[in-house]
């Protein structure tokens, strides 16, 4: 066996300016090819003693620095680290820093060349459990969809430069070619899209607006009825917002817009529909507004903030991962009785609060999206199916019952109530021999 060198002979390696900073630099820097690494000068016995104190990820990196280290350490160390997934994950992420064209997949943790792949997707994208769904961003521009691999690349490119990933300006643009899942006729939903990196997370921001003329007709309803001509006249325009935001919105967003138009007509100050609305099943926040800033025009506007997560493997959040999962794949518990407290608007604007998870931020006046969705689900689904062709009609329906608690969104009118009210109103017009019914 080779004798162990004395301590003095080992320290002789560091005789030149042997300050702590220089020693650290000498150990970590590869240096010129003609200068051997400090570890290459150590006897095998000392080297094996040192590596027992290193984590497996650091040991794997050390083995790849020279042939001598690889041959010396490989008999007692398995480089694949199949029984140590956390250390293997750290090692792969350390390795990718030296390879700008390679990136680690968030789901299956393989290195792949992102520049050679369509939409920068991992080769195993279609086989990723829980991460095979790509939410829409803008189907009129590229990229049209956001995959989980793209989140890693944009965060990495922002932190390390364009060689390591795309830049945020590639996500930002403005256009007026619809904002939802499908193309529409007539007026379009214009959108202004932007992206930022905050606290290591990719946050996407969108403002979706549609301007339409205020309906000029109205009716004078009988006692016990309310004129909803605005809502029904603008129903076609509200339906164009279907598909904006997260997939959990579905018909809930047109329902909130419908309520915004109704409360604008009534002059309700600070309506609930203008609150920050939180989705309980993913990291999406939104605000809905109905404005009359210009004479004869009404502006329907939806503003969204969405957090898609970051690269920190120890800071994964199920609400951020839910963007890339088909609804129902994973069950996320939501206590509807507890008010929401997440505020992605504040985070996007540079909020200094450091979160431990997506549900811990200072409370504000906020509403659960699911409360809107569950309260209006049957109503809105039938509304779009049965009344979408009546977008120009003026219909009066019964006034909601007074005395209901304001904190609850209770379904006050069903589709049957609406048609019953229509029938009674038409019968009254016929009985009064209104010109509509003259023969």
Separation CA 75–CA 48 (nearest Å): 11
Are residues 217 and 350 located together in one domain of the fold?
A: yes
Please report whether residue 289 resides in a domain: yes
Instruction: Using the 3D structure, point to which of 76, 99, 129 is the last residue of a domain.
Output: 76
Q: Is 296 helix (H, G, I), strand (E, B) or coil?
A: coil
Q: What distance in Å separates the CA atoms of residue 413 and residue 399, rounded to the nearest whole number? A: 9
CA distance 301 to 237: 11
How far apart are alpha carbons 86 and 314 in whole angstroms? Answer: 10
> What is the phi/psi pair of residue 354, to 5°?
-90, 120
Look at residue 105 and tell me if it is in a domain: no
Task: Report the 10 Å Cβ neighbour count for 232.
Answer: 23
Count the domains in the chain.
2
Query: Cα(133)–Cα(325) distance, rounded to whole angstroms?
Result: 5
Q: Using CA atoms, how far apart are residues 84 and 387, in angstroms rounded to an integer?
A: 59
The distance of Cα 207 from the centroid of its chain, to the nearest Å, equals 15
Q: Are 300 and 256 a contacting pair, CB within 8 Å?
A: no
Provide block-wise average pLDDT over 10 residues at a time, the chain (439 residues): 39 38 42 63 85 87 86 82 83 87 89 87 86 83 88 95 94 78 70 94 94 77 67 77 78 78 79 82 91 86 94 87 81 75 90 46 65 59 46 36 37 44 58 48
CB 189 within 8 A of CB 210: yes
Residue 95 near residue 111, CB atoms below 8 Å: yes
Please check whether residue 84 lies inside any domain of the structure.
no
User: Quick check: bond before 143 cis, omega within 30?
Assistant: yes
Q: Is residue 68 part of a domain?
A: yes
Q: Tell me, what's the pLDDT at 60?
A: 87
- From the list 238, 265, 263, the residue with the least C-alpha distance to 253 is 238
Same domain, 315 and 190: yes
Cβ of 75: how many Cβ atoms within 10 Å? 6
Q: Is 176 within 8 Å of 188 (Cβ atoms)?
A: yes
Same domain for 199 and 311, yes or no, is yes
pLDDT at 235: 76
CB 183 within 8 A of CB 275: no
Residue 392 Cα to chain centre, angstroms: 36
The DSSP letter of residue 107 is: T
* Domain that includes residue 352, residue range: 172-421
The answer on 198 and 71 residing in a single domain is: no
Q: Are 310 and 201 in contact (CB under 8 A)?
A: yes
On whether residue 153 sits in a domain, the answer given is no
Closest CA to 275 of 158, 367, 391: 367
The rounded radius of gyration (Å) of the Cα atoms in the chain is 31
**Is 167 part of any domain?**
no
Residues counted in the chain:
439
Domain match, 269 and 395 both: yes
Question: Residue 398 in 3-state DSSP?
Answer: strand
Q: Does residue 370 contact residue 334 with C-beta atoms inside 8 Å?
A: yes
* H or E, element range at 290: strand 284-291
Per DSSP, the three-state class of 104 is strand
CA nearest to 337, candidates 256, 276, 408: 408
In a domain, 155, yes or no: no
End position of a domain, from candidates 44, 76, 108: 76
CA dihedral 211, 214, 215, 217 (to 10 degrees): -170
Last residue of a domain, one of 42, 59, 76: 76
Is residue 241 located within the same domain as residue 360? yes
Does 220 reside within a domain?
Answer: yes
């Amino acid at each position: 066996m080779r004798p162990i060198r004395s301590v003095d002979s080992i320290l002789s390696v560091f005789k030149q300016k042997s300050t702590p900073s220089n020693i650290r630099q000498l150990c970590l820097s590869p240096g010129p090819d003609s200068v051997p690494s400090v570890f290459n000068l150590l006897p095998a016995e000392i080297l094996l003693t040192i590596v027992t104190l290193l984590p497996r990820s650091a040991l794997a990196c050390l083995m790849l620095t020279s042939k001598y280290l690889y041959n010396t350490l490989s008999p007692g160390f398995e480089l694949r680290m199949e029984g140590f997934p956390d250390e293997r994950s750290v090692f792969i992420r350390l390795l990718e820093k030296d390879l700008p064209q390679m990136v680690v997949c968030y789901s299956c943790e393989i290195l792949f060349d992102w520049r050679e792949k369509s939409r920068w997707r991992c080769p195993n994208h279609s086989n990723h459990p829980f991460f095979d769904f790509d939410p829409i961003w803008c189907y009129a521009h590229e990229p049209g969809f956001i995959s989980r691999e793209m989140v890693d690349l944009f965060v990495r490119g922002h932190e390390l430069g364009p060689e390591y990933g795309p830049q945020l300006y590639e996500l930002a643009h403005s256009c007026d070619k619809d904002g939802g899942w499908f193309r529409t006729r007539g007026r379009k939903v214009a959108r202004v899209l932007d992206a930022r990196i905050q606290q290591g997370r990719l946050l996407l921001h969108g403002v979706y607006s549609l301007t339409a003329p205020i309906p000029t007709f109205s009716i004078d309803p009988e006692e016990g009825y309310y004129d909803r001509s605005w809502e029904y006249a603008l129903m076609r325009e509200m339906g164009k917002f279907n598909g904006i935001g997260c997939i959990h919105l579905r018909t809930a967003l047109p329902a909130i817009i419908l309520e915004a138009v109704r409360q604008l007509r009534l002059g309700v100050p600070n309506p609930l529909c203008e609150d920050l609305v939180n989705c309980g099943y993913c990291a999406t926040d939104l605000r809905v507004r109905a404005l009359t800033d210009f004479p004869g025009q009404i502006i329907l506007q939806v503003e969204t903030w969405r957090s898609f997560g970051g690269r920190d493997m120890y800071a994964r959040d199920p609400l951020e991962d839910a963007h890339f999962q088909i609804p129902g794949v994973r069950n996320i518990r939501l206590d509807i009785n507890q008010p929401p407290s997440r505020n992605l608007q504040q985070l996007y604007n540079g909020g200094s609060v450091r979160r431990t998870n997506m549900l811990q931020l200072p409370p504000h006046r906020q509403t659960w999206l699911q409360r809107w969705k569950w309260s209006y689900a049957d109503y809105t689904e039938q509304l779009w199916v049965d009344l979408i062709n009546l977008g120009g009609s003026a219909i009066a329906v019964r006034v909601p019952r007074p005395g209901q608690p304001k904190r609850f969104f209770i379904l006050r009118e069903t589709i049957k109530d609406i048609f019953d009210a229509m029938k009674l109103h038409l019968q009254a017009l016929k009985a009064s021999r209104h010109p509509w019914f003259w023969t």
